[in-house]
Amino acid sequence: MAASAPLRADDLLHTVIAAIQDALAAPNTLSVAVLAFVSLQRLAELGLSRRNTRLLKAKGAVEVGRRHYLPMVVLHAGWLLGLWILASARAPNPPLLLLFALLQAARLWVLASLGERWTTRIVVVPGAPLVASGPYRFLRHPNYWVVAAEILVLPLAFGLVTFAVIFTLLNAVVLKVRIREEDAALRRGQTWARLHQ
C-alpha cells in the first residue's frame, strides 16, 4: 500500500480555486443567505462594539489586551472569508444549521446581559461590579463559549470538518491569551473597587 503524498501548496491553491469557481457557478441560495446573515451580524456587532467602547471609556474604562486584538480580528475575518470561499456552493446540514441558529439565540442572550459593557475588546470600568445575570449566572465567559461553538458548528454544517478543526484550534490559542488578560483586568478592577469603598 503506497503512502499518500503530502499536500503541496499548489494542490491547496487548486482546491481553493475550484471551490471559488463552484461558488460562483452554482451558489447554494440558503448557504449564501446564511453567510450573508453572519457577515452582516458581525459588521453590526463591530459598530455596537465601537459605540460601547466609546461609552465605557467616557466612564473611565481602561482597555487592556490590545496585542492579541489584531490576531483575533484576522482569525475571525479569515474564518468568514474561508466560509464564503468554501461553503457558498454547498448545501448545509439542517440539524447543524438549527444548532447554529440556537447559538445565535445564546449570542443575543449574552449581548442583552452585558448591555453596554459588551465589546469586542477588553474594556473594564474600575470598580464596576461583575455581570452576574443571564448566562453569567451559570458559566464563566459564556460569550467565548458561544463564539467557540459557532466557529466549530457553522463549518461542520457545510461539511468542512478540517476547516472547523483548524479554526477551532486557532481560536482556542487566541482565547487562552484573551481570557487570561481579561480575568487579570477584571481582578484589578475588583481590587480597585475594594480599595475605594
Q: What is the 3-state secondary structure (H, E, C) of 70-120?
A: HHHHHHHHHHHHHHHHHHCCCCCCHHHHHHHHHHHHHHHHHHHHHHHHCCC
pLDDT score, position 196:
43
Inside any domain, residue 89: yes
Range of the domain at 39: 29-119+127-195
DSSP secondary structure letter of residue 121? S
Inside any domain, residue 156: yes
Inside any domain, residue 3: no
Q: How many domains is the chain built from?
A: 1
Query: What are 4-51's pLDDT values in tens digits?
Result: 556 566 776 777 777 777 666 778 999 999 999 999 999 999 999 999
Inside any domain, residue 18: no
Inside any domain, residue 4: no
Tell whether the torsion through CA atoms of 67, 69, 75 and 77 is positive or negative. negative
Query: What are 51-81's pLDDT values in tens digits?
Result: 999 999 999 988 888 888 999 999 999 999 9
Rounded Cα distance between 22 and 86, Å, is: 9
Residues linked to residue 123 through DSSP beta bridges, in sequence order: 63
Residue from 138, 137, 139, 153 nearest 103 by CA: 153
For 146, other C-beta atoms within 10 Å of its C-beta total 21
Tell whether the torsion through CA atoms of 49, 179, 107 and 72 is positive or negative. positive
Inside any domain, residue 147: yes
Q: Which residue has the cell 468568514?
A: 80
Residue 178: φ, ψ to 5°: -65, -45
Inside any domain, residue 5: no
Inside any domain, residue 20: no
Rounded Cα distance between 94 and 110, Å, is: 24
The pTM assigned to this predicted structure is: 0.83
Residue 76 amino acid letter:
H
Range with the poorest average pLDDT among 10-14, 33-37, 84-88, 159-163: 10-14
